[in-house]
Amino acid sequence: MHRLHDEGSGEFRESSSGASLTVVSPSSGAGASELQCSGAWSVQTIASLESRLDDIHWAAVRELVVDGSAITLLDTAGAWILHKTIRRCAARGCVVRTQGMRSEFAALLQLLAEHEIPLEVPAVHPPAWLARVGQRARSILMGAHGYLAFVGESSLALLTSLRHPSRLRWRPILHNVQTAGLDALMITGLLSFLMGIVIAYQGADQLQRFGANIFVVDLVALAMLRELSPLLTAIIIAGRSGSAYAAQIGTMKVTEEIDALRTIGVGAQELLVIPKVCGLLIVMPLLTVYTDVTGVLGGMVMARVKLDVGFDLFIDRLDDAIQPSSYWTGLAKAPVFAMIISLVGCYRGFQVGGSAESVGQQTTLSVVQSIFLVILTDAMFSIVFLWLDL
């Protein structure tokens, strides 16, 4: 880039790669100034040309002739810069006319003139809090749209695999059954056992006041079988396995393994998502039954210690306290929770960017969103069961 200044002729020239402009002012001060344009006025050269045009002192110009005879290329970007200059001069009372333009260039300038595009678009600055609310709402809506699209793709892949069982990858499914199910028996059983103890202990003082010690069986059994066992199991699995799914897929995306799979024609949904979904669908109902047993066992131990309700009496009362519907309503939640946890974990894994930091962020999001959706779904189940009188 270079600039030439000829004091005698009042000539200013600026040239850039393939494009230049020259402003020639009359030495006597009378007559028209001339803007000589040459070269390619295109999107590649408009930055330097616009800067030069903005630096020119147009207020002293009373009459301007735009000479475009040397322009070799004029695209929409270049035409807009030239048209904006003409309109700004005309707005100051300057008489502007063009000469030497090729017919197609003149037609493009005329098209811009007919549409009367505003030179300056007024900036709208909403309040900061309103902008944050809007951005947050848009982010939530876009996230929900992406998640629903992912659920649809995964459902189609699962239906295709079920119609063709030979395409199911049984080894990854069994591996997920082991990692999400067998390896989680200790933590889920312990927490459920402790929760049964807590419920029996909290209810013991109130029941003793009315001499209704035996009803601790109803309290523990209904609380564990209908609500707490499936909910606690889902929360533990979301924090344990859902986060692992997001981290595994996210790491594969960072290392471009997923792109390599697609290159060789292997579907990421079929290889990475379906085995995890199927594994959790098998594991969650079994873990829920297991936590039902351990939770009731914890309540049974506390009832023996605190309320002097023996094991035989507890089991006899259990037959009267629990209806089959109470057991099945809790068990019916397990497959739904399994779908939520596995799909959210996998979806967040696919949302990982190109850094290790993104893996941690998406893993955290997978746990938070899984637990939130599980609790929300459990509340919806409670409303539906209330309507159905179950």
Q: What number is the average pLDDT over the span 327-338?
A: 90
**What percentage of the chain reaches a pLDDT higher than 70?**
88
- Please give the pLDDT value at position 232: 92
Is the pLDDT reported for residue 220 higher than 80? Answer: yes
Is the pLDDT reported for residue 282 higher than 90? Answer: yes
Distance separating alpha carbons of residues 348 and 250, to the nearest angstrom: 8
- Please give the pLDDT value at position 11: 42
Residue 10 confidence class, pLDDT cut points 50, 70, 90: very low
Residue 123 confidence class, pLDDT cut points 50, 70, 90: low
Is the pLDDT reported for residue 155 higher than 80? Answer: yes
Is the pLDDT reported for residue 198 higher than 60? Answer: yes
- Please give the pLDDT value at position 58: 67
Cβ 335 vs Cβ 285: under 8 Å? yes
Range of lowest pLDDT (69-73, 117-121, 344-348): 117-121
Q: What number is the average pLDDT over the span 363-385?
A: 92
Domain spans in the chain, listed from the N-terminal domain onward: 2-115, 137-387
Assigned CATH topology for domain 2-115: Transcription Regulator spoIIAA (3.30.750)
Residue 127 confidence class, pLDDT cut points 50, 70, 90: low
Q: What number is the average pLDDT over the span 179-202?
A: 91
pLDDT, tens digit, for every residue of 230-263?
999 999 999 989 999 999 998 888 888 888 888 8
**What percentage of the chain reaches a pLDDT higher than 90?**
23
Is the pLDDT reported for residue 148 higher than 70? Answer: yes
Is the pLDDT reported for residue 12 higher than 50? Answer: no
Residue 125 confidence class, pLDDT cut points 50, 70, 90: low
- Please give the pLDDT value at position 3: 36
- Please give the pLDDT value at position 73: 84
Q: What number is the average pLDDT over the span 204-228?
A: 84
Cα distances (Å, whole numbers) of residue 10 to 4, 22, 237: 11, 10, 79
Is the pLDDT reported for residue 75 higher than 70? Answer: yes
pLDDT, tens digit, for every residue of 25-62?
665 555 677 778 888 888 887 777 777 777 776 666 77
Task: Using alpha carbons, select from 59, 298, 98, 270 the residue that is nearest to residue 188.
Answer: 298
Q: What is the mean pLDDT of the chain?
A: 82
Position with higher pLDDT, 6 vs 260: 260
Q: What number is the average pLDDT over the span 176-199?
A: 91
Which tokens sit at 235? 């929360």
Is the pLDDT reported for residue 120 higher than 60? Answer: no
- Please give the pLDDT value at position 283: 93
